[in-house]
Amino acid sequence: MDELKNQPCPICGKNTLTLSQEDYNIPHFGEALVFSMHCDSCKYHKADIETLEVHDPAKYEFTIESVEDLSVKVIKSANATVKLPNARLSSEPGSGSDGYISNIEGLINRFEKIIQDQRDLSEDKSAKKSAKNLLKKLWKVKLGEIPFKVIIEDPTGNSAIVSERAKITKLKVKK
């Protein structure tokens, strides 16, 4: 991993930003670079992934059917949308979106953290109950008790669900 420390942070301006870059060779996907920046002062963080090979815009669909499926590798660029249609959840790309390499369990954990934060900050009882029910559903998925679909749509082609069972279709990009 290459690192460049003590850089000026774009948020707080202090020279406490670390830039890093790491090369990955991902089976069935190809060479990729993971970039990140993290500020020790204000905790600003941004990450993304880019492939060194050109991929077409793609939609990946995968159904979790067992506990073993939680270890399936996931590559998500900052430009990708992740959808969990069984829970009516999605994360949209944008300036706050990060790219990462993880697995299905890590992806679910990210959604759980968002739901937990919303539950803890909400004063609305129905919102708290809805969050509790969603968390219970995601827990059952992680126990392998219920099937659950994961969809990743990436107009840049820099994302993937690395499994022979993943359904891959061409993504129609709006112009």
Alpha-carbon dihedral angle through residues 109, 163, 55, 35, given to the nearest 10 degrees: 40
pLDDT (tens digit per residue) in 101-132: 999 999 999 999 999 999 999 899 999 999 99
Does the pTM exceed 0.85? no
In the block, residue with structure tokens 């069984």: 86
Cα 28 to its chain centre, rounded Å, is 19
In the block, residue with structure tokens 């190809």: 30
Domain architecture of the chain: domains with CATH: 1-53 (2.20.25), 54-175 (2.60.120.1040)
**Start-to-end CA span in the chain (Å):** 36
Percentage of residues in the chain with pLDDT exceeding 90?
72
